[in-house]
Each structure stands twice: as C-alpha cells, then as structure tokens.
Amino acid sequence: MSATRQWVIAVLAILGAFFVAGILGGFAAGRLGFWHLPGSGFCAALAVVLSTYFAVPSHKFLMALCALGVGALVAWPLLEPSSYPESYGAQAYQQTHLPVISTYIGGAIGLLVAGVLRLWSGPNNSFKPRPLRGPA
C-alpha cells in the first residue's frame, strides 16, 4: 500500500472517530443526566488524539501532538462562547468555560495514553516484555 493511500485512510479514520465519539459521548452524557456538550467534546478530543496515534503510518506521537494542537485551536472559537443550558436552573444562560475545558482535558488524557503506549512499545511497535516499573 502506498504511503499516500495510508495517510488518506488515516485522515478518514480520524474524522470518523471524531464524529462517532462526539455523537456517542453526547448521547452518554445526556443519558447520565449531564450536559451533552462537555461530554461530546471530551470524547471527541480523546478519540481524535488516540485515533491519530493508532492510524498514522509514521511519526505517531508527533502527529498525535499535532492533532491535539489543531483540535485545541479549532475548539476554542467553536466552544468558547458557551452558556449553560436552560435546564441548569439559576445558572441557565450564564457564560461558562466548561465545554472547552473538558475538551482540552480529553485531548490531554489522550496524549498521555499515547505517550504511555509509546514508552511501552518497541522499535517495531510491539509491546516490550517488561512494564515501566523495571525488572521484577
């Protein structure tokens, strides 16, 4: 398979993970009785960073870091003018940073997981026989 084709498939996989995780995260947050927007952002950011790490053919951690940076820049204008929904009673329609903060936290956790996977993986992306704590 050519390198260009691998990158195109990776981009499609990342976009698919973004949409599926965002929709399912919003649905799960709503079913649990929470505001759907922070749940969607958290799950979408986590999925984008991790799917980038797993899908790209090379420079996995660097590309996951780039996905986090681009996602943070895109999320800011989309989520920052947020207000609590009407169902929040006294806080309804007040400005909040909760959706963008939860989105950033989801991306940071995704990058942390990618970093741990990078430390545990060998040169051919196979897992090392010993965990980080050293010999037993």
Check whether 135 has a pLDDT greater than 70.
Answer: no
Of these ranges, 64-68, 90-94, 125-129, the one predicted with the greatest mean pLDDT is 64-68
User: Could you read off the pLDDT of 23-39 as tens digits, one per residue?
Assistant: 999 999 999 988 899 99
- Report whether 110 contacts 48 (CB < 8 A): yes
| pTM check: above 0.75 | yes
Residue 6 pLDDT level (bands cut at 50, 70, 90)? very high
Residue 59 contacts residue 42 (beta carbons within 8 Å): no
Q: How far apart are the first and last CA of the chain?
A: 41
Distance separating alpha carbons of residues 118 and 85, to the nearest angstrom: 40
Q: What is the pLDDT of residue 48?
A: 97
In the chain, where the domains are located: 3-120
Residue 88 has pLDDT above 80, yes or no: no
Tell me the pLDDT of the chain averaged across its residues: 88
Residue 125: which pLDDT band, with cuts at 50, 70 and 90? Answer: low
pLDDT in tens, 37-66: 999 999 999 999 999 999 998 899 999 999
Work out the widest C-alpha separation in the chain, in whole angstroms: 57
Enter the DSSP assignment of 127. Answer: B
